[in-house]
Amino acid sequence: MGNSAEWIAEASTVCRIADLAARDEEVLLLAEKRAADRQHAKGKLTARERIELLVDPGSFVEVDRLNRHRCTDFGMADNRPYGDGVVTGQATVDGRPVCVFSQDFTVFGGSMGEAFGEKVLKVMDLALTIGCPVIGINDSGGARIQEGVVALAYYAELARRNAHASGVVPQISLIMGPCAGGAVYTPAITDFTVMAGETSHMFVTGPEVVSATTGETVTAAELGGARVNSEMSGNVHYRANDEQDALDWVRTLLGYLPSNNLDTCPEYASTADLRLGERDESLDALVPDSPHRGYDMYRLIEALVDDGDILEVQKDFAANMICAFARIEGRSVGVVANQPLCQAGVIDIDASEKAARFVRFCDAFGIPLLTLADVPGYLPGVGQERAGIIRRGAKLVYAYAEATVPKVTVVVRKAYGGGYAVMGSKHLGADVNLAWPTAEIAVMGAEAAVTVLYRRELHAVAGTAREATRLRLVREYRERFATPYAAAERGYVDRVIRPATTRIEVTRALRLLRTKRQELPARKHGNIPL
């Protein structure tokens, strides 16, 4: 009888717990339904819907779902929703672990308070502990005013976590709504930032503050919309058409990256083959006969990588420099290339900083670098000099010199002056340097060089004879200096190759370098010219 009584009491307890759990679940689901209605009315998804679209179906495990704020001021005591405005947890993408936090704008405008901050820090610490990427989905009004300095403290704590995780695990930020004030700096520290369509904006100070302090009238889109951040400021690595496109891009990006700096990138089935059939005869005619005509560098990139597939980073910013992820023999590579169709492929401030950051990311996570050089040098001009091209242009020099991953360079056409040196030259530590017969490696172009070197001789000749003399000197300079063979004689170029065989040669070089080992001198860290 005693056992029966105990059984009845235990069953009663179980039922009571089940009832409480069901009631709590009902409350949560009702709150989520109301939140969904508010977000959908704005053309936006909810925090949980975004996570569900990002990760593998059924893989998301939420943590701290019942967490609530502890603020009792300003009428907050009676308004303590579960979750406190952010959804956090772990999941998988293509079967690989990730940690995620997604801000919920329907709860206090997605503002960060103490409980909110604790949840985000907890999931970031978890990402570092298990060594997996961390993805932050931002849709927030900023710091929670009611909680005062505590809210600001957690933004600083988050930035510290971002800094410590940098180069250890990939960090990706999605901007799905407002992101302003101190909140913008943590996405800026992460490795990749994605903005979604017309529903997002990102700026330090909003239009009202700008108007009050400077008198300028500007809209949120004009100040910090996706187009401005992707094309002009370069803060954003991909401008998505909508939220679904943003989430799809991140899923694709993760497929090129390792889970952490000690892991290797995922490998996929490869179609690469070193047989004769891998030659692309069309590459022999890619470079025009005239040095003043451009060609599309994407054509060469697509011919070299598996299935012609690339994932470009910052496509809308500094189009004269191409930075993209691709695969060769099923393995990830980072491609850095000049684009002759845009400013003749010259390196300016924006192009230098864009490429430097990309090179450093690839180096941090063990992704080999393939450099395709066709560069007339750094961009001259008063504007560039005054904007700091010396200091900011040096970032690319530093990035290549510091990188210890396998580095393969192909000089396609022109490689002049500082542009030759910085674009993966042997002198900055490239492992295998190849050149096409069309490559011109020199201090400057033949025509400019002749003008400097033979000024007196040209002035001594008049009329048509002067032009004939100039053309002869230009031809002689090219034959003697502006060829890949002069560099090859000194070992600065390892091989001069036929363009049609470039994929074969690059594949062989990357195979050779798979076991590369290189260490830099012991130090706390370098001092890149910021």
Tens-place pLDDT, residues 368-412: 999 999 999 999 999 999 999 999 999 999 999 999 999 999 999
pTM, to two decimals = 0.90
What is the average pLDDT across 298-306? 96
Q: Is the same domain home to 107 and 197? A: yes
Q: Is the same domain home to 157 and 283? A: no
**Amino acid 107: pLDDT:** 86
- The answer as to whether 523 is a domain residue is no
- The answer as to whether 80 is a domain residue is yes
At residue 259, does pLDDT exceed 70?
A: yes
> Tens digits of per-residue pLDDT, 56-97?
999 999 998 888 877 667 667 667 788 888 999 999 999 999
At residue 294, does pLDDT exceed 90?
A: yes
What is the average pLDDT across 6-10? 66
Q: Is the same domain home to 225 and 94? A: yes
Q: Is the same domain home to 474 and 490? A: no
Residues 6+ apart with CB under 8 A from 458: 450, 451, 466, 469, 470, 473
> Tens digits of per-residue pLDDT, 129-179?
999 999 999 998 888 877 778 888 989 999 999 999 999 999 999 999 999
For residues 27 and 124, the model is more confident at 124
Instruction: Report the range of poorest mean pLDDT among 2-6, 151-155, 242-246.
Output: 2-6
Amino acid at 153: A
Amino acid at 399: A
- The answer as to whether 97 is a domain residue is yes
- The answer as to whether 83 is a domain residue is yes
Q: Is the same domain home to 147 and 225? A: yes
Q: Is the same domain home to 211 and 293? A: no
What is the average pLDDT across 514-526? 92
Q: Are 272 and 278 in contact (CB under 8 A)?
A: yes
Q: Is the same domain home to 378 and 281? A: yes
At residue 354, does pLDDT exceed 70?
A: yes
CATH number at residue 381: 3.90.226.10
Domain count of the chain?
A: 4
**How far is the C-alpha of 394 from the C-alpha of 422, rounded, in Å?**
9
Q: Is the same domain home to 408 and 336? A: yes
For residues 483 and 159, the model is more confident at 159
Q: Point out which residues pair with 62 in neighbouring strands.
A: 89
Can you give the residue range of the structural domain that contains 10? 1-32
Nearest to 259 by CA among 449, 442, 129, 410: 129
The 3-state secondary structure of 361-422 reads HHHHCCCCEEEEEEECCECCCHHHHHCCHHHHHHHHHHHHHHCCCCEEEEEEEEEEHHHHHH
- The answer as to whether 350 is a domain residue is yes
Q: Is the same domain home to 362 and 312? A: yes
**Amino acid 276: pLDDT:** 47
- The answer as to whether 519 is a domain residue is no
**Amino acid 514: pLDDT:** 95
- The answer as to whether 86 is a domain residue is yes
Q: Is the same domain home to 85 and 110? A: yes
Q: Is the same domain home to 460 and 421? A: no
Instruction: Report the range of poorest mean pLDDT among 17-26, 176-185, 237-246, 399-408.
Output: 17-26
**Amino acid 9: pLDDT:** 63
**Amino acid 75: pLDDT:** 60
Q: Is the same domain home to 246 and 310? A: no
- The answer as to whether 260 is a domain residue is no
At residue 320, does pLDDT exceed 70?
A: yes
